[in-house]
């Protein structure tokens, strides 16, 4: 059944809806609501329907149920004894001093993604890293990290990792590849020929020092630090605005008004920003201070879904709009920097007059407590306008000057031309993949072939490795030493595990090259790092102490570089001339893949994209208006053409996306990797060569190609009949009606009240602070050994995630409001699942947990049928039993790895509860409030999730349950869920007047 967009005026729609089908109440949506489960999610057919007189998709017949019981009993007797392919048990002959079997160890370390640094705590079991969280000692991240960082523990155990060096396709020893590399470098030095080194961003002071030493030993070395998804426009705009490539870190914790120009700072990649945001949204009363978020953007982003007021604006017009905003503020008395010329800017016409008036008043009133942010992929003019607005308003920021400027796509094109001319004697590619990310792949391949020696340093053989003679396998960062610079602290990286294979750290490879060139350098990077840090550490701080803490705190510098007003005239003129004509394509880093480096991570590939709820694919997002004009339906195959490049890919219709704007994620369409290969399409050929607008391209053409593709999306799964599930209040509604909703009176029940002698565990989720970033989903998957099922099973509604993020729209299709709601097992006191289980596999614990006994479950799925929240997952296929090392090393040994045929669901991380119970009992004390943190709570960057003891009236969770915004989902059923939600809050400006932020 096709989704047809409305031809005329607004329709009578549900207040909250999740899909276009639900909004329009199409026959497909009505059928989905009636059937409860997706087609294919449960067996159906003549054996189940006609013979037994059951309705379609009703489940298992009585005869088949008996067969399942007997099969499960036989299976239990055999599976428990079968260790085929599981390896051998090797006991400790000499146990390390710090390792106690069954007790986790934690090590402080760090990693980076581009210029962004993530200090982490690594949880290990018997020397095996199994879980990552943020380092709570770091003053910026405060125990939080990004979803991709949490999932990166899986990359350590990637079976596709290169395990030994290669030369010409042959596995060889390190001495052979080093002799070839060192000989080439020495010959290049003697001949005075340049050597090209391309790496990722350099945010490590020790790595920067090492590269400087290598440059001194090899004067002809040319180094490019390249991050293809970083956005070249931001670098160019910073250079023009400040005369240097400055990375400004705005103080969002102090901001009362935030204006985002396509900046998606709430997408989980910036835990500091998300924490600052969440701190101002967790209100106890309508009198508490709250910030206001304005978002002007083309594609709908996570930040846009959390906006108090969002206005769809084509990215090509953001610069002109922002400069017009500066001009209007100046007219109201806000001082312009000296030399600023805005004469080219005319009155804006992209935003309705009343909305514009409120925005200008908001920024003027907030002054230095206002912050303007610009998205990394937005045009350079928008970035310069954002710098101008911040300079006018006096916004405070920490200036973090990058250690090494980033190369642009234009710089790589110049390098390709030099390679093609035979200028380079050798080329080294270190943890980068330009053969995939450079937009002209054929040109790059032909150019690289002209370099006599090509060496690749990395983990998984990629498109660039295929063009190199020497392959040097690199350590994972959890096997490596290092350091990084952040505005609040210098961060140290230490290995949490020995090297799994015959690999080396990239810095060790360069140190070997340095020694071969005659320089005096230590044998290992650990010694190099330690020697440098012993000179840099403050008095009284030892290297061992810094390593234990994972950081050395530094004084944050509040001074920002001076904005150059003279740079505005040219940028304003370009912005004024920019017109949003035809279709423009926005290229952005993929949520799961970033620039492709995470494409081989199955956890991330299967985590639903927070906006589209898409897994295992990167369809092009089309606005509602454009889809209607072009006759495009969900899943239609389309051709996307730009500058002579054409791709065929599926389309998704995205409510809220600006008219005339297309959005496409980077990092897909890889040709290597067991997981990544063939997933999605490669969008890098559309990347522009001009730094000012490399990621926003005009002149795109879209047309129907014929045919459809089944999309592996989760947004339409588990529909719950449009009941009172999610609640959202404006601040005015919260002030005049603090409860904002009706409370369900105490219901009469046939059940006796549950008795909980010691504890009653419960959870509160604040929808006002939740941004929908999915960090909790990834944290739960890592902690609880949640399996990956693949795109075909996801399309059937068989995803296994124990927690999902339901995304609800409200209002018009063209610009709806959005609310995100984490949904997991509610651990009901009167749980409907418990009284229908024929084998008592699901039952209630004395402390209020809805438990699952996996070895008792026979898979009838009666509990799933009876669960009104649709939060139970059935193991349809054998997802885990046949996995072998190294993949099995990622498993948490505290959580059972479930076999096929059992029900799974959230357990409130019962293993963590029991761990704290045991430690508290050993210490002879009571459990402290906040001492137990579930994986989702620990992973949430905005602290939207609180867990604790409901029997303790002083606990934080008990106090939040009594808050005026508190409600329970489907509490009218009388099931008494243990999870309480706090209604979402929006703080829009009052139409035609100013509302305090």
pLDDT at 469 over 60: yes
Cα separation values, 180 from 198, 469, 672, Å: 19, 10, 26
Higher pLDDT, 676 or 102: 676
Q: What is the pTM of this model?
A: 0.89
Query: What does DSSP say about strands 636-642 and 696-708: parallel, antiparallel, or unpaired?
Result: antiparallel
Q: What pLDDT does 489 receive?
A: 85
Residue 242 has pLDDT above 90, yes or no: no
Above 60 in pLDDT, residue 779?
yes
When pLDDT is cut at 50, 70 and 90, the band that residue 559 belongs to is low
Q: Confidence class of residue 48 from pLDDT cuts 50, 70 and 90?
A: very low
Which CATH architecture describes the domain 166-230+405-553? 3-Layer(aba) Sandwich (3.40)
Domain 232-396 CATH class label: alpha beta
CATH 2.40.40.20 range(s) for the chain read 582-708
Asked whether the predicted pLDDT for residue 385 surpasses 70, the reply is yes
Label residue 416 by pLDDT band (50, 70, 90).
very high
Q: What residues does CATH 3.40.50.740 cover in the chain?
A: 166-230+405-553
* pLDDT score at 23: 65
Q: Report the pLDDT value the prediction gives residue 6, as an integer from 0 to 100.
A: 47
Which of 363, 298, 374, 321 is CA-nearest to residue 815? Answer: 298
pLDDT at 162: 96
Report whether pLDDT(884) > 90. Answer: no
- Per-residue confidence (pLDDT) for residue 18, from 0 to 100: 61
Average pLDDT over residues 732-744: 72
pLDDT (0 to 100) of residue 86 = 44
Span 635-647, pLDDT tens digits: 999 999 998 899 9
| Of 925 and 284, the one with more pLDDT | 925
Question: Does 47 have pLDDT greater than 70?
Answer: no
Neighbours of 172 (CB within 10 A): 15
Within the chain, which residue ranges are assigned CATH 3.40.228.10? Answer: 232-396
CA nearest to 981, candidates 945, 929, 932: 945
pLDDT band at 248 (very low <50, low <70, confident <90, very high): confident
Query: Is the pLDDT reported for residue 552 higher than 50?
Result: yes
How far apart CA 135 and CA 117 sit, in angstroms, is 12
pLDDT mean across residues, the chain:
87
Largest Cα span, the chain:
91
| Residue 56 reports pLDDT greater than 60 | no
**What pLDDT shows up at residue 12?**
42
Residue 749 is predicted with a pLDDT of: 75
45-59, 362-376, 833-847, 943-957: range with lowest mean pLDDT: 45-59
Q: Is the pLDDT of residue 887 over 70?
A: yes
Which of the two residues, 749 and 790, has the higher pLDDT score?
790
pLDDT at residue 63, as a whole number = 42
CB 524 within 8 A of CB 511: yes
Task: Tell me how far apart the alpha carbons of residues 538 and 557 are, in angstroms, rounded to a whole number.
Answer: 17
Helix, strand, coil % over all residues of the chain, rounded to 5: 30, 20, 50
The residue-averaged pLDDT of 335-357 equals 88
What pLDDT shows up at residue 579? 80
Average of per-residue pLDDT across 10-21: 55
Helical residues (DSSP H) of 599-665, grouped into ranges: 602-606, 624-630
pLDDT tens digits for range 183-220: 999 999 999 999 999 999 999 999 999 999 999 999 99
Confidence band for 346, pLDDT divided at 50, 70 and 90 = confident
Domain over 729-743+767-908+962-986 is classified CATH 3.30.70.20:
yes
Is the model's pLDDT at 741 over the cut of 70? no
Count, residues in the chain: 997
For position 742, what pLDDT does the model report? Answer: 60
Report pLDDT digits (tens) over 256-276: 999 999 999 999 899 989 998
Tell me the per-residue pLDDT of 144-177, one tens digit each, with 9 for 90 and over.
999 999 999 999 999 999 999 999 999 999 999 9
326 close to 342: Cβ distance less than 8 angstroms: yes
- Domain(s) labelled CATH 3.30.70.20 in the chain stretch across 729-743+767-908+962-986
> Model confidence at 505, in pLDDT bands (50, 70, 90)?
very high
Mean pLDDT: which of 59-68, 137-146, 194-203 is highest? 194-203
In order, the DSSP letters of 259-300 are: EEES--TTSSS-HHHHHHHHHTT--SSTTS---EEEEEESS-
pLDDT at res. 564: 87
- The class that CATH gives domain 582-708 is mainly beta
What was the pLDDT predicted at 467? 95
Average the pLDDT over 424-446 and give the result. 95
More confident residue, 560 or 697: 697
Mean pLDDT of 660-685: 94
Distances (CA, A) of 592 to 117, 436, 623: 18, 17, 22
List b or e across 931-943, with b for residues whose CB sees 16 or more CB atoms inside 10 angstroms: ebbbbbbbbbbbb
| Residue 14 reports pLDDT greater than 70 | no
Query: Where do the H-state alpha helices sit in 851-955?
Result: 862-866, 910-923, 935-939
Determine what percent of the chain is predicted with pLDDT higher than 70.
87
Tell which residue, 978, 971, 970, has the closest CA to residue 718: 970
Express as a percent the part of the chain with pLDDT over 90: 64
Work out the average pLDDT over 923-933.
94
Q: Could you count the other beta carbons within 10 Å of the beta carbon of residue 213? A: 18
């Amino acid at each position: 059944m096709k989704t047809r967009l409305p031809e005329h005026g607004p329709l009578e729609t549900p207040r909250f809806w999740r899909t276009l089908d639900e909004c329009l109440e199409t026959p497909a949506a009505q059928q989905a609501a009636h059937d409860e489960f997706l087609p294919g999610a449960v067996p159906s057919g003549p054996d189940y329907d006609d013979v037994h007189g059951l309705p379609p998709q009703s489940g298992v017949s009585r005869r088949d149920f008996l067969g399942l019981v007997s099969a499960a009993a036989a299976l239990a007797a055999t599976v428990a004894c079968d260790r085929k392919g599981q390896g051998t048990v090797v006991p400790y002959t000499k146990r390390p001093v710090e390792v106690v079997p069954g007790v986790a160890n934690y090590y402080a370390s760090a990693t980076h993604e581009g210029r962004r640094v993530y200090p982490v705590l690594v949880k290990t079991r018997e020397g095996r890293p199994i879980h990552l969280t943020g380092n709570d000692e770091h003053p910026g991240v405060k125990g939080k990290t990004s979803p991709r960082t949490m999932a990166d523990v899986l990359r350590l155990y990637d079976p596709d990792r290169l395990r030994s060096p290669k030369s010409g396709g042959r596995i060889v020893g390190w001495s052979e590849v080093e002799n070839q590399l060192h000989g080439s470098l020495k010959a290049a030095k003697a001949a005075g020929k340049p050597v090209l080194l391309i790496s990722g961003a350099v945010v490590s002071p020790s790595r920067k020092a090492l590269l400087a030493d290598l440059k001194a030993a090899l004067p002809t070395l040319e180094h490019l630090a390249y991050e293809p998804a970083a956005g070249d426009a931001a670098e160019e705009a910073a250079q023009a605005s400040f005369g240097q490539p400055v990375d400004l870190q705005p103080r969002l914790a102090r901001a009362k008004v935030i204006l985002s120009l396509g900046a998606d700072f709430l997408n989980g990649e910036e835990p500091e920003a998300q924490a600052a945001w969440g701190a101002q949204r967790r209100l106890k009363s309508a009198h508490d201070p709250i910030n206001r978020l304005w978002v002007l953007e083309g594609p709908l982003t996570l930040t846009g879904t959390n906006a108090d007021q969002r206005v769809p604006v084509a990215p090509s017009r953001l610069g002109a709009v922002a400069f017009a905003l500066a001009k209007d503020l100046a007219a109201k008395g806000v001082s312009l920097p000296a030399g600023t010329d805005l004469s080219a800017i005319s009155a804006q016409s992209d935003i309705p007059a009343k909305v514009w008036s409120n925005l200008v008043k908001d920024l003027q009133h907030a002054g230095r407590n206002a912050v303007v942010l610009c998205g990394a992929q937005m045009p350079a003019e928008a970035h310069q306008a954002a710098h101008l607005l911040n300079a006018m308003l006096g916004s405070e920021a920490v200036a973090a000057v990058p250690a090494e400027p980033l190369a642009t796509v234009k710089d790589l094109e110049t390098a390709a031309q030099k390679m093609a001319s035979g200028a380079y004697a050798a080329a080294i590619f270190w943890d980068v993949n330009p053969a995939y990310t450079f937009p002209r792949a054929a040109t790059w391949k032909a150019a690289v072939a002209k370099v006599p020696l090509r060496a690749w340093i990395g983990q998984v053989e990629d498109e660039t490795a295929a063009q190199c003679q020497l392959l040097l396998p690199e350590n994972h960062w959890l096997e490596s030493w290092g350091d990084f610079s952040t505005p609040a602290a210098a961060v140290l990286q230490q290995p949490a595990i020995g090297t799994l294979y015959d690999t080396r750290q990239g810095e060790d490879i360069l140190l070997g090259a340095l020694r071969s060139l005659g320089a005096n350098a230590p044998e290992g990077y650990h010694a190099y790092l330690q020697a440098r840090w012993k000179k840099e550490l403050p008095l009284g701080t030892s290297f061992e102490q810094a390593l234990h803490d994972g950081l050395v705190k530094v004084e944050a510098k509040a001074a920002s570089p001076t904005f150059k007003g003279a740079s505005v005239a040219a940028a304003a003129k370009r912005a004024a001339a920019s017109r949003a004509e035809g279709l423009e394509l926005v290229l952005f880093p993929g949520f799961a893949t970033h620039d492709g480096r995470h494409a081989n991570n199955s956890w991330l590939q299967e985590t639903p994209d927070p906006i589209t709820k898409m897994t295992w694919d990167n369809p092009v997002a089309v606005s509602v208006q454009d889809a209607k004009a072009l006759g495009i339906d969900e899943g239609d195959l389309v051709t996307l053409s730009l500058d002579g490049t054409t791709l065929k890919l599926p389309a998704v219709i995205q409510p809220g996306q600006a008219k005339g704007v297309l959005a496409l994620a980077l990092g897909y369409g890889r040709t290597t990797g067991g997981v990544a290969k063939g997933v999605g399409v490669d969008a890098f050929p559309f990347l522009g060569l001009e730094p000012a607008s490399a990621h926003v391209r005009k002149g795109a053409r879209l047309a129907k190609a014929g045919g459809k593709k089944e999309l592996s999306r989760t947004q339409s799964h588990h529909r719950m009949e449009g009941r009172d599930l999610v609640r959202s209040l404006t601040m005015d509604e919260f002030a005049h009606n603090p409860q904002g909703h009706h409370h369900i009176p105490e219901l009469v029940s046939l059940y006796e009240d549950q008795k909980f002698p010691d504890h009653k565990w419960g959870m509160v989720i604040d929808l006002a602070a939740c941004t929908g970033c999915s960090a909790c989903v990834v944290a739960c998957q890592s902690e609880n050994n949640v399996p990956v099922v693949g795109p075909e099973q996801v399309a059937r509604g068989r995803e296994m995630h124990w927690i999902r993020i339901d995304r609800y729209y409200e209002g018009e299709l063209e610009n709806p409001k959005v609310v995100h709601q984490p949904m997991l097992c509610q651990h009901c006191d009167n749980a409907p699942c418990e009284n229908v289980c024929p084998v008592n596999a699901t039952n209630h614990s004395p402390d209020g947990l809805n438990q699952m006994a996996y070895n008792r479950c026979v898979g009838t799925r009666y509990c799933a049928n009876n669960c009104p929240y649709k939060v139970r997952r059935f193991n349809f296929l054998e997802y885990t039993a046949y996995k072998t090392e190294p993949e099995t090393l990622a498993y948490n040994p505290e959580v059972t790895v479930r076999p096929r045929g059992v029900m799974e669901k959230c357990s409130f991380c019962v293993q963590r509860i029991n761990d704290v119970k045991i430690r508290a009992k050993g210490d002879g004390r009571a459990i402290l409030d906040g001492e137990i943190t579930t994986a989702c709570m620990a992973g949430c960057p905005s602290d939207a999730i609180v867990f604790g003891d409901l029997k303790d009236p002083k606990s934080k969770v008990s106090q939040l349950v009594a808050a005026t915004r508190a409600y329970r989902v489907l509490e009218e059923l009388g099931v008494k869920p243990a999870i309480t939600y706090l209604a979402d809050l929006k703080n829009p400006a009052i139409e035609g007047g100013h509302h305090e932020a």
